[in-house]
Structure formats: structure tokens, C-alpha cells
Structure 1
Amino acid sequence: MSRLSLKDRVRIAAGTADTPDPTAPPADAPEQVADLAGTERVEPPMNDTVMGWLERYRQEFTDALPAHIDAGTFFAAVRAVLPRLARCTPASTLQALLTCARFGLLPDDKHAVIKREGTLAVFVPMAQGFIDLMYRSGAVDSVHVGEIRERDVFDYTPTAPAPDDFVHRPDLRLSKEERGEVILCYAFAWLKGGARSQVIILSRRDAEDIRDEYSQAYRDAVAAGVETSFWHTHFLDMWRKSCVRRLAKVVPMSAELVALTRADDAGEAGELQIAHAPDQEAARLLAEAEAASVAAEASQDVPAASSPRLPVKRSQPRRKGPRRARRGRKHAA
């Protein structure tokens, strides 16, 4: 059997690629993923048994996860979400979880969610997941996301200088119910060096327009007469996430953040997401390049007096003797 890449095998199992020529040259992916490409669909039982099935791919998860998350921590989060994936195909479950792992996010319903769409498992990065990747870029100091309720005091003047352009004063003595319904969600970031980003503000109508235009899962649910999409069940979370996604476009974007946005879009469109997830080596190289870029930009802000002087080549002294000699010979002539 040919040794295909993990991405190709998941595509084959999901029915999005043709079965390859068995004489094709081997790839670098481990052989144990090959059963996903077989003619018989693997149907692992749920809970403890499915965890045993996923353990067969522990090395893939270990390779995909960043250094600050070990496979044990990731699998602990996976165990909690398995019941909702009972009817999902093994191939879609594996690719959704591997996509989540490659971005270094836990499927804990805070940083990322693994949801079921029909028989497919889908990776959904949440607002906190996008925020985490903003922090990893090294250019963002802090991110603030909030919602404004009917009885909150707020003011937004886009033409005023930051931070006087935006004020939100909720009455913390009141409960959320007493403060009223959410009317606006917002997000902004403080950048390294003290600058503040543009404030992103979305109304409920803005969020509904984003939902209607981009979420295929929502449209499918409406067409089927059910309210099972994530926009149905977690509207406020998706509203806040939409703010953070728009914020990502106005702060320095890392390549990993761009890839996360594309993977999220692919999930909304019902497409394969793992194709957009970075592998471990690519992520390491990108992180090093971005860190070097940030350091280079920061060095331009250092006052010249405190910056080390670059070596300068000394100019050679003029050779006055020969010139005088030549001049003397000219006068003598």
C-alpha cells in the first residue's frame, strides 16, 4: 500500500478525492492512517472505545500540537465533546480534531468548538481562539471584547482621537437582565508600543447579515426547517466572534491568523478545513519569521543615541606625497 499524506487520506475517506494509484511514491504520513481510505468505513463505538481509536493517531496529534499543549491535555478536552459527535463520520471527526490541533487550540468550547453538521464534524474557532493567535503574533498587547446592553451608557465618536472616541460604562450593580438586551458588540486591541486599534462595532443586524451571507450551515438549517446551526444555538457567541474576526483585519495579521480565518470560512462553506491548517514545521518557520519582523520594526523605534552604531568602513587617507611630486615635476617642466 502506498504511503499517502494524512491530508490525502482524509480527503479520500471524506469522498473529496479519487483513490490514488497504489504504485505512487510514498509520502511522509504514518501508515496507520491508511484504514480511513479503505473500502469499509471504520465505525468506532463512542466514549472510551473511540478514545482508544483516536489513540492510534496520537503521534499525528503530538506532531501537530505546539509545545505548550501536550496530547494528554488535548485528548482530555476531546473526551468531553465526543457525545455530540456520535453520528459523525470517523474521517470528518479526525480531520476536524487535527485541524484544531494544528492551530494549537483546545476544543473546550471556549477557544474552539467541534460541532456536528449532519454526519460531518466541523472545527469552529471561537473568539478566544482568534484572540490567542493575535497574542502569538507578538504585535498585540491586549484585546477587549464586550457587548453593550440597552441601559448601558456608551458613546462612540469615530472622528475623536483614541481612546476618547469610545466609552462604555455599564452599571455593574444591575444584572444582565436588568441592563436589557444586547444591542451592540465591540472589540478593540492595544498594540505593542501603546497604540490602540480601530474599534469594531457590530449591531445585531450586522451580525445577521454576516450570518446570512457566509454561513452555509445556517442556510441549510433554515431550508430544512430546523434550528440546529451554531448561529441558531449560540448567536451571541457568533456575534462576538464576528467582531473579533473583523478586528483581526485591522491589527497586524500573522500568517497563522490568516490561515485560521480561511479554515473557519471553509467550515462555514462545508469544505475540507485541514487543507488550510499549518503543519508543525511550517508554523515554526512562520513564527520565527514573524518574530524577526516584529523585532526589526521595534528596533526602528529605539532612539539613535541608545542604538548600537553600525560598523562604518574607514576612508583611506589621501596620498599627498605622490601628488606633490607629480605637481613638482609639472612645474619643473
Structure 2
Amino acid sequence: MPATLSLKDKVRIATGTAPDPAATPADVPDQLADIKGTEQVTPPMNQTVMEWLERYNDEFDDALPSHIDRSTFFAAVRSLLPTLAKCTPASALDALLACARFGLVPDGRHAAIAREGKLARFIPMAQGYVDLMCRGEVQSVVVEVVREKDDFTWVPTAPLGKDLVHVPARGMKSERGEATHVYAFVWFRNGNRSRAVVLDREDAEEIRDEHSRAYQEAVAEGRDDSFWHRFFIQMWMKSAVRRLPKYVRMSAEVTALMKADEAGQAGQLQSYCAPDPEAAALVADAEEAHAAAEASQDAAPPNPTTRRLPVKRSQPRRKAPRRARRGRKTPA
């Protein structure tokens, strides 16, 4: 790859958005420069895609956090090769770099890479949002699906702890009936709980119809292959988690993830919404220091039986006059 190309140039290869077509590097295989949207993908094509991605090993090493190595990340990517082979190489690189920079593995549980036409898109799942939230002051995130036969009550004006009751019915999911609601709330490290976000099916369908460009395009073209078509419950759960910022102070990393998610829905580049690894580390250190400072203000008062440290006095202590001993005369 020519040294004069920036990362921005690399991810805009073959998308038609590059400022100068001559900037396309000569070492990009012809079969990758213009991938046709055919249904059949041969194993050699899959291998070609993987070999092309491995040319960006340095970029992925820089993007991935220390707890995820490139081999682990690429192991998950290999199962996506049939999908990536139908996408433009630039969009595949953009989606995978965005996923890597957030420290998420595209395993379908934490994040996914979806194909929309010829474009690859990074889709953070509900568990991916939960993982990023729990890197800060959040202890855990509860996201549950309510079904028809469950005992469920939600009173948003009631005090915390009495506002939401959910007792799942016994049996398999199919025996509990169709999903009716999804709710999410947060437990903080200090033991407190946030308000709950509750979305019914109508809320989820409204979010899907108004905000998912991929779903709108699929409906217009008579297709049913969008993520909302195939994974409605998972997208419903993610929508509930995405509304938690109404009640929870989110970290800069979670805020950036939401922006990358929205950029993908709008068909825009996503990797540039992801935080720079070095900047993200500095922000994480600052947030940790802030949390420690907040915790110190809630610390218990010192034990009164604890021995006090000596204090330096600004003025010397005055000596008390010595008493005369009994039976001894003082000199005149």
C-alpha cells in the first residue's frame, strides 16, 4: 500500500466517494475493486478477502484494545467471509475497523457485520452496549423480554424498587407467548438502580420504521433481509438499551458507539466515529479519576479512637509555672 495514502483514503477505496479515482492503490485485486452482488461465493473468493484484510494488520493492531488480539478478532471475521465477499472492500474495512476500535468482536452477540446491498455495516448489539457501559461506573445492565403469559407491572411514577415487577411464566419461550415488552435498567457500583426504560411492540416498530434506513430500503425493494427483519427481538432490546442515557450518565466511549451506530443507519462511514485508542485511554483514566474523587466524598468519617497524627503548632506551647513542693519554702 503506498505510504502516501491515509487511513481515510484506504476506507474510501472502491466506494465512489474517493476525491480522486487515481488514488485507488494498484495492489487491490480487481475482483475486490468491484464485487458483484451475486448469490454464489466461491471459497477462493473468501480466501482473497481474508488475504486483502490481512494487509491492514497494523491498522487492526492499533485499533484493538489490549485484551483482544488480532487472531481472536480475525477468527470471528472468518465466519463472515461469505458476507464480506459480497460487499465493497472499503465498506468492509470501515465496518471492521469501527468494530475493532470499540473493542467488540463481530460474533453476532456483541456486534455484527451486516450486508446492505453492496455495503458492509457495523451493528453493535445490546450486549455490546452493555459491555461498554460496564467499563465505567455501571455495575451491570438488565435487559429482559416480557411475554404474554408473564406477570408484568410497570408504574413509572412509583418509587424505585416498586415501579417494575416481572415474573416470567414457567415453560419455554414458545409456551410463554409472544413478546409484548422489553425493559432495561442499570445497577450502579454504589448499589443504586436507575429508572427503567420500557418499550412495547408498537414503540419498537415506530423506531424501526422511522430510524432504520436499511429497513426502509428493504421494504421499498420488496426484501426481508434487513437486521430488523431477521433479528427483531435483538434490535428491540438494543433500542431499549440505547434509551438508557435518559437516566444514566454515559461515558464518552458509549456516546461514540451510539454515533457510529447512527452513522451506519444513515449509510455513512463509521470508523471515524470510533474513538482514537490513545485518546480513549486518556478519557478512561480521567473518568476513573473522577469516579474515585466522587467516591472519596462519600467515605465514612474517621474512627474517633484512631490515633491522631501530630500537628505542627504555629506558636510554642506556654509552660505552666512549677508548683512549690509542700514543706519547702520559697526563697524571699
| Offset, 1:231 | 0.8
Q: Scaled by the length of structure 2, what TM-score is found?
A: 0.84
Matches within 5 A, 1:170-249: 170-172=168-170, 174-249=171-246
- Partner of residue 301 from structure 1, selected from 298, 302, 306: 298
Q: Letter of the aligned partner of 2:192 in structure 1? A: A
Matches within 5 A, 1:105-144: 105-137=104-136, 139-144=137-142
Percent of residue pairs identical: 56
Say which SS state the counterpart of residue 275 (structure 1) adopts: coil
| Offset, 1:85 | 2.2
Work out whether 1:94 is the aligned partner of 2:93.
yes
Residue 151 of structure 1: aligned partner: 149
Report the CA distance shift for 1:57/1:220 in structure 2 as closer, same or farther (over 3 A). same
| C-alpha distance in 1 between matches for 2:5 and 2:88 | 20
The superposition leaves residues 288-321 of structure 1 with CA deviations (integer Å, 9 ceiling, x where unpaired) of 1111111111111112327xxxx9x978559xxx
| C-alpha distance in 1 between matches for 2:272 and 2:71 | 25
| C-alpha distance in 2 between matches for 1:75 and 1:43 | 23
| C-alpha distance in 1 between matches for 2:25 and 2:275 | 21
Residue 325 of structure 1: aligned partner: none
Question: Alignment length, in residue pairs?
Answer: 305
Bigger radius of gyration among the two: 2
Aligned Cα root-mean-square deviation (Å) = 2.9
Q: Scaled by the length of structure 1, what TM-score is found?
A: 0.84
| Offset, 1:37 | 8.7
Q: Letter of the aligned partner of 2:154 in structure 1? A: Y
The superposition leaves residues 130-186 of structure 1 with CA deviations (integer Å, 9 ceiling, x where unpaired) of 00000112x1111111111111001112222221211100123x1211111000011
Task: Assess if the C-alpha contact under 8 Å between 1:184 and 1:203 holds in 2.
Answer: yes
Q: Letter of the aligned partner of 2:160 in structure 1? A: A
Task: Assess if the C-alpha contact under 8 Å between 1:10 and 1:37 holds in 2.
Answer: no
Deviates more, 1:110-119 or 1:278-287: 278-287
| C-alpha distance in 1 between matches for 2:11 and 2:28 | 7
Residue 268 of structure 1: aligned partner: 265
Q: Letter of the aligned partner of 1:114 in structure 2? A: I
Runs of 4+ in 1 over 4 A off after TM superposition: 33-41, 313-318
| Offset, 1:21 | 10
Residue 7 of structure 1: aligned partner: 8
Task: Assess if the C-alpha contact under 8 Å between 2:208 and 2:228 holds in 1.
Answer: yes
Task: Assess if the C-alpha contact under 8 Å between 2:14 and 2:34 holds in 1.
Answer: no
Report the CA distance shift for 1:41/1:76 in structure 2 as closer, same or farther (over 3 A). closer
| Offset, 1:16 | 2.6
Q: Which structure's residues are more often helix, by fraction?
A: 1
Q: Which runs of 5+ in 1 are unaligned?
A: 23-32, 319-333
Q: Which runs of 5+ in 2 are unaligned?
A: 36-43, 304-308, 317-332
Q: Letter of the aligned partner of 2:33 in structure 1? A: V
Say which SS state the counterpart of residue 47 (structure 1) adopts: helix
